[in-house]
Chains A and B, each alone.
Chain A
Amino acid sequence: MRARRPWLLALGIVLGLTLVTALGVGPRSISPAQLMRVIGVELGLQPPESVSRVDRVVITQLRAPRAILGALVGAVLAVAGASLQGLFRNPLADPGLIGVTTGAAAAAATGIVFAGLIPFGAQLGPYLVPVFAFVGALLTTLTVAAIARQDGHTRTATLLLAGIALAALAGALIGLLVYLSDDQQLRDLQFWMMGSLGGAEWRSLAIVGPILLLLCILLSRGGADLNCILLGEREAQYLGVDVERLKRRMIWCIAAGVGAAVSLAGSIGFVGLVVPHLLRLSLGPDHRLLLPASALLGGTLLLVADLAARTWAAPSELPIGIMTSLVGGPFLLWLVVRDRSRGVIGD
């Protein structure tokens, strides 16, 4: 009942400002004024000769797709994490936990190492690995969901255990593929396992971007139902929630969202865990606010992480997964230590 709009508006403004900053900052510094002129040119409000060609290419072909991809991937990962935490009634749940992320990464690794052996591989060209990652995420989810389903009912604890087992299996597969790969493949694998927004370009973004945006919106809207699930599945049923349908819908949205995110940006950890926590500390656990707020803050934080990844060791670039884990790991430890006395996470 408390006001949710001001929070979402504020987080939206912060995301917008971060996006603009991400367009301006980099090895070639572009001032806000120049940036506005480039946007003016792109919208046809100003003549093309008013800006430098290089600025224009850097912004429209390099930084804009990268920033948009970063915002969308961060948003999907964070809202997927928040949704899973609600669904499992466990604040430590994460898309990595039900095996989706590792499954997608293992499929991507298979695509990289065996590209030559795969039928139609040549036709798919640069899309081969992303398609593999996406299909890998869905297949993992299908397997986990099938194992957890009994008598028309999805058993949450089994889902979790099956996910952990499959993630371990997928991890072993990745290890094996690393062992089999040559030098070039190893570099590609590394990119995939540590995550990067460096591969962003308009053509793939045009396909995956709308999917990510749609899943973000779908997941963000389930807050009231998730609140009821937190009371217990039967309690939610008594409050009129179709628990089984909600679970299925959410798990598939999460699988598709994480699969799409991993397909373009590799596996990026901790966003789904840290962002909802950070928000719960200040906004409380109401998922009607938590879910959309997670999407907005997740987008913002991944953009900031990417900014750090590409400016810290410029002109070379750190994998963004290293940045998020470098910040996320200690943050989680701090939360755990702090929670021993405060009980915010739960019992």
Chain B
Amino acid sequence: MIELEAVSVELGGRLVLRELSLRVAPGELLALVGPNGAGKSTALAAIAGALSTSGGEIRFHDRPLRAWDAEELARARAVMTQSEFLTFAFLVRDVVAMGRHPHPPSDADEETVDAAAREARVSHLLDRRYTALSGGERQRVRFARVLTQLGGVEQGALLLDEPTASLDPAEQHACMAAARRQARAGRAVVVVLHDLGLAARYADRMAVLDDGRLLGEGTPREVVGQGILDEAFDVQVRLVPHEGPHPTVLVEPRAAGEDSGRA
């Protein structure tokens, strides 16, 4: 369980998160959406314990986040960031296995690595050099690494910052489906997303941020129905009626004027 109570974060003298309150229950996938600079990544970093807050409190498993020791926290929550630093030519298998760092070594580690690699669809890359992979492949390897970190963890938290950013459409769906399976296995999953279609299809709930504030939250149908996304992004978001179980959305520019098509 992740709980944020009126959390504010100041970065470089600017308030980038203003009194954000959120709850993510085990078994739930929450999508954090909002325009560029809305504070999504900051919110995720705060939940991950990487930022000091200037107000409010974050609790993880009913304990204040700052009461957690770094290693203990690393055994219960994994974070996939957008950054990419690795320039040494590690084998992909070794990169994925680094997810086991906070855990005591075990005979099951190899199996955990293999299972995470299957889930992130990188099994075929395990014996290649990380530095020789494409951007999308590296991103999937990083996803496998965070899954490895939560391997064998009962009720962990999985925090993903734009995990689908450089993936092709099939891989985007595979990644989100895997994130959803993680939630169904009892984890609290928070995903920062730009693709509203993916968010609406895979999230149990969506939280919409704008200018560091929570504009609204609810199920995808509620968020779309109440026009919260329209307000945040200055676009028109509509639900497309269809037979399937998941909501599908259509995103159009607000002014259906001169650039909307050739007519």
User: Which A residues are within 8 Å of any B CB, using their own CB?
Assistant: 1, 89, 91, 224-225, 227-228, 230-232, 234-235, 237-242, 280, 284-286, 343-344, 346-347
The answer to whether B74 touches A230, judged by C-beta atoms less than 8 angstroms apart, is no
| Partner-contacting stretch, out of B93-101, B172-180, B233-241 | B93-101
The answer to whether A237 touches B50, judged by C-beta atoms less than 8 angstroms apart, is yes
CB of B248 within 8 A of chain A? no
Interface readout for B127-167 with A: 1 if CB under 8 Å, 0 if not?
00001100000000000000001000000000000000000
The answer to whether A232 touches B90, judged by C-beta atoms less than 8 angstroms apart, is no
- Additional pairs, 5, CB under 8 Å, beyond known A230-B88, A286-B90: A231-B85, A237-B70, A240-B71, A242-B70, A285-B89
Q: A235: shortest Cβ distance to chain B, in Å? A: 6
Interface pairs A-B: 5 shortest CB-CB = A240-B74, A346-B87, A240-B102, A285-B88, A240-B71
Report B-chain residues with C-beta under 8 Å of the C-beta of A240: 70-75, 101-102
Asked whether A231 and B50 contact (CB < 8 A) given A239-B74, A239-B149, the answer is: no
Asked whether A232 and B99 contact (CB < 8 A) given A89-B87, A91-B88, A286-B94, the answer is: no
Q: A335: shortest Cβ distance to chain B, in Å? A: 14
A-B contact pairs, 5 of them (CB 8 A): A1-B97, A228-B101, A231-B85, A235-B79, A285-B88
The answer to whether A89 touches B85, judged by C-beta atoms less than 8 angstroms apart, is yes
Report B-chain residues with C-beta under 8 Å of the C-beta of A346: 87-89, 131
CB of B110 within 8 A of chain A? yes
CB of B81 within 8 A of chain A? yes
Checking A1, A225, A235, A343 against B89 with a beta-carbon cut-off of 8 angstroms, the contacting residue is: A343
Give residues of chain B (40-98) contacting chain A, Cβ–Cβ below 8 Å. Answer: 45, 48, 50, 70-75, 78-79, 81, 83-91, 93-95, 97-98
The answer to whether A235 touches B83, judged by C-beta atoms less than 8 angstroms apart, is yes
Q: B52: shortest Cβ distance to chain A, in Å? A: 10
Interface residues on B, range: 20 to 34
Report A-chain residues with C-beta under 8 Å of the C-beta of B86: 230-232
The answer to whether B110 touches A1, judged by C-beta atoms less than 8 angstroms apart, is yes
The answer to whether B131 touches A231, judged by C-beta atoms less than 8 angstroms apart, is no
Report B-chain residues with C-beta under 8 Å of the C-beta of A239: 74, 98-99, 101-102, 149
Chain A residue nearest to B113 in the complex (CB): A1
Chain B residue nearest to A347 in the complex (CB): B87
Report A-chain residues with C-beta under 8 Å of the C-beta of B110: 1
Report A-chain residues with C-beta under 8 Å of the C-beta of B50: 234, 237-238
Chain B residue nearest to A342 in the complex (CB): B89
Query: With the chains together, A163 CA to B238 CA distance in Å?
Result: 58
Chain A residue nearest to B77 in the complex (CB): A238
Report A-chain residues with C-beta under 8 Å of the C-beta of B84: 232
Interface centre among B50, B88, B102 (most CB of A within 10 A): B88
The answer to whether B70 touches A241, judged by C-beta atoms less than 8 angstroms apart, is yes
Report A-chain residues with C-beta under 8 Å of the C-beta of B109: 1
The answer to whether B94 touches A238, judged by C-beta atoms less than 8 angstroms apart, is no
Query: With the chains together, A230 CA to B73 CA distance in Å?
Result: 20
The answer to whether B87 touches A235, judged by C-beta atoms less than 8 angstroms apart, is no
The answer to whether B131 touches A343, judged by C-beta atoms less than 8 angstroms apart, is yes
Query: With the chains together, A347 CA to B97 CA distance in Å?
Result: 23
Report A-chain residues with C-beta under 8 Å of the C-beta of B91: 284
Report A-chain residues with C-beta under 8 Å of the C-beta of B98: 227-228, 231, 239
The answer to whether B90 touches A285, judged by C-beta atoms less than 8 angstroms apart, is yes
Report B-chain residues with C-beta under 8 Å of the C-beta of A91: 87-88
Interface centre among A231, A237, A280 (most CB of B within 10 A): A231
Report A-chain residues with C-beta under 8 Å of the C-beta of B97: 1
Report A-chain residues with C-beta under 8 Å of the C-beta of B87: 89, 91, 230, 346-347
Query: With the chains together, A286 CA to B90 CA distance in Å?
Result: 7
Q: B51: shortest Cβ distance to chain A, in Å? A: 10
Interface centre among B81, B85, B131 (most CB of A within 10 A): B85
